Amino acid sequence: MKHFLIAILLLIPAGLSAQPAGDPAGALSAFYTVYDGQRAEGGGVPDATGRVRYTPVLSPRLNKQLAAASAAQARLNARVKNAVPPMLEGDIFSSLFEGATSWKIGACQVNAKTARCPVALTYTPAPSQRAPKPANWSDTVLLVETPQGWKVDDVIYDAGFAFGNTGRLSSMLQMVIAANP
């Protein structure tokens, strides 16, 4: 009987398991894998292709906000006849405009179905760039547990750079959405 139950459990697809797969740090690592591949695409709100790539690692709420911010930018572009720069420029997933080239995920604090994960980030300029030195900072990534596992739900910009992102990613997206109803 025990072998029969084990055989049945092995046949159940992973997506149908009762418990979400992975842990917050593993989900955050998956997010940074997508982020690393998208970083070269430029900043601001990801385009439709970028949002498709991010969809599996972001919460439904954050995916919806990104789509709404993109639509708000499109409405602004349609209203203004001259070229309009994006309302959000640079990397939106970190405090630094240029984004991060490397990261180290700290110990996540889990509370029921939410998690707060500190992330130590570094931006190292390419050798061809004339930047003085790498930039190091920390941000906090908030995750939520969904039926599909842990997903990134927000970013708290902790760096305090004079010209960097401040507050939360969700607040910046909401500002874009509210400015262009």
pLDDT band, residue 37 (cuts 50/70/90) = confident
* Domain 21-179: assigned CATH number: 3.10.450
Residue type, 142: L
Instruction: Using CB atoms within 10 Å of the CB of residue 20, give its burial: 0 to 12 exposed, 13 to 18 middle, 19+ buried.
Output: middle
Say if residue 13's pLDDT is above 90.
no
> What is the three-class DSSP state of 100?
coil
Query: Which of 9, 148, 172 shows the shortest CA–CA distance to 97?
Result: 172
Q: What is the pTM of this model?
A: 0.81
pLDDT in tens, 59-99: 999 999 999 988 888 888 777 776 666 677 788 899 998 88
Q: How far is the C-alpha of 42 from the C-alpha of 98, rounded, in Å?
A: 9
Sign of CA dihedral 156, 160, 166, 167: positive
Delimit the domains of the chain by residue range.
21-179
